[in-house]
Amino acid sequence: MDIAIMGAGLSGLACAITLEKNGVTPTIYEKRSKVGDRFVNGEALLSIFTRPVHDCVESFSEKYGIYLKPTSNIQKIEFFSKNEMAIIEGQLGFTNIRGREQDSFEKQLEEQTKSSIHFNSDETYEQLIRKHSHVVMATGDGAYAKKTRNFREDLTVSIKGVTVEGTFDRYTVLTWIDYDLAPFGYCYLIPFSEKEANISIAIPDLPENEAVNINNLWSVFHEKVRSQLKQELPITDQFQITGYPIGICKSGRIGNTFHVGNCFGTTMPFMGYGQYASILSGIYAAYDLCGLGKYEELMKPLRQSYQDSIVLRRSMEQLSNKGLDLIIYSLQGYWGEKLFHTKRISPLKVASYLLRPYIKMKKEGTR
């Protein structure tokens, strides 16, 4: 086999590492000048989205031989709606850095990769499939999958985020689900350390948001966080993404081409998280290439998670702030304990079920 990996992100590098462990050396093509050459942002690996795996860092290490060093473990998540607040505590997952940072997950995976990486590559998929026996498409978005008519785009989102300086509890993540702040979207604060954090706002590009200016929303949100934390929070870096597509491929493997990461559809439509599924998709593609399993079969649970997430996303689009208040209120008790600490259930399915009573609000004109 002569394998090309198109993209040196999480899924592409995870695929390369797994191939190498099984005696296969791929060639990696990356269009940027180095691994992680993108904006810096904080992300979270939440155990609620990785069930039945509770500790995904341990799982990657013990089961797959891939070693990740998060910036912190999450011991508390504070949820805010317009009028309610809920605090969930326990071992809830991990935070990490992405992008142009030496400790980013991309950089950590690069250090574990022995295969050669061709940077500043302008090789197209069509060129690679002619030169190599197999291609792993890991470009970080669904553009190539869309080009080959193998991608169902479910929505696009716009995101604005910044790095701020201040004083933070690195074990606590803050999340706002308040449609006055982010219509049909969400906001969050993820600490990098005790002195730096990422605060971001994300909104879906719905017809209802057509006239919404994310920069105006951002100014209001930034001021709210400053007021809530009683800190100035000076900005040291920022990024903005407009119209980023979220969807899922129709077929994970077509011929000798594997779609992994966001080319497969590992970004969850509900809250945007997808690192766990992205890394797993690269591992599973390598398993298929090494005769250790069938990619489509291995990816079935991740495909189902995506489908559950899109149902939840569509359900949330039917809600008003009143419905969000009820949900956040319910988290401070029995349902919060069930969702975050009971390993036997699928949180995405349960959350979708809990939202059903509120879906009627739109039809009844309560939005």
Q: Please tell me the total count of domains within the chain.
A: 1
Determine the Cα–Cα distance for residues 312 and 306; give it in Å rounded to an integer. 10
User: Burial code of 48-64, b = ≥16 C-beta within 10 A, e = fewer?
Assistant: bbbbebebbbeebeeeb
Q: Which letter does DSSP use for residue 284 in this model?
A: H
Determine the Cα–Cα distance for residues 58 and 56; give it in Å rounded to an integer. 5
Q: Which letter does DSSP use for residue 47 in this model?
A: G
Written as six digits, the tokens of 9 are 């992100």
Average pLDDT of the residues in 9-30 = 97
Q: Is the pLDDT of residue 195 over 60?
A: yes
Q: Is the pLDDT of residue 246 over 90?
A: yes
Count of CB atoms situated within 10 Å of the CB of 171: 14
**Per-residue pLDDT band at 331 (split at 50, 70, 90):** confident
**Which range of residues forms the domain containing residue 225?**
3-363
Q: Is the pLDDT of residue 240 over 70?
A: yes
250-261 tens-digit pLDDT: 999 999 999 999
Which residues have C-beta within 8 Å of that of residue 11, sequence separation ≥ 6? 138, 260, 261, 262, 263, 264, 266, 278, 279, 281, 282, 285
* More confidently predicted of 348 and 16: 16
CATH number of residue 62's parent domain: 3.50.50.60
Sheet order of strands, 257-259 included? 117-118, 27-29, 3-6, 134-137, 257-259, 253-254
Q: Is the pLDDT of residue 363 over 60?
A: no
88-103 tens-digit pLDDT: 999 999 999 999 889 9
What pTM did the predictor assign? 0.92
**23 to each of 5, 6, 8, 18, how far by Cα in Å?**
16, 20, 19, 9
How long is the chain?
Answer: 367
* More confidently predicted of 335 and 3: 3
26-76 tens-digit pLDDT: 999 999 999 998 889 999 999 888 888 889 999 999 999 999 999 999 999
| Res 301: pLDDT | 92
**Per-residue pLDDT band at 344 (split at 50, 70, 90):** low
| Res 367: pLDDT | 46
Written as six digits, the tokens of 89 are 């505590």
Determine the Cα–Cα distance for residues 251 and 288; give it in Å rounded to an integer. 14
Amino acid at 324: L
Sign of CA dihedral 331, 332, 338, 339: positive
Average pLDDT of the residues in 203-228 = 95
Count of CB atoms situated within 10 Å of the CB of 366: 14
Determine the Cα–Cα distance for residues 185 and 251; give it in Å rounded to an integer. 29
Look at the block and give the residue holding tokens 């079920």: 353
| Res 353: pLDDT | 62
Longest dimension (CA), the chain: 61
**Per-residue pLDDT band at 364 (split at 50, 70, 90):** low
**Per-residue pLDDT band at 314 (split at 50, 70, 90):** confident
| Res 93: pLDDT | 94
Written as six digits, the tokens of 323 are 């419905």
Written as six digits, the tokens of 177 are 């689900």
| Res 292: pLDDT | 97
Round the average pLDDT of the chain to a whole number and report it. 91
Q: Is the pLDDT of residue 284 over 90?
A: yes
Instruction: Rounding to the nearest 10 degrees, give the CA dihedral for residues 251, 253, 254, 256.
Output: 170
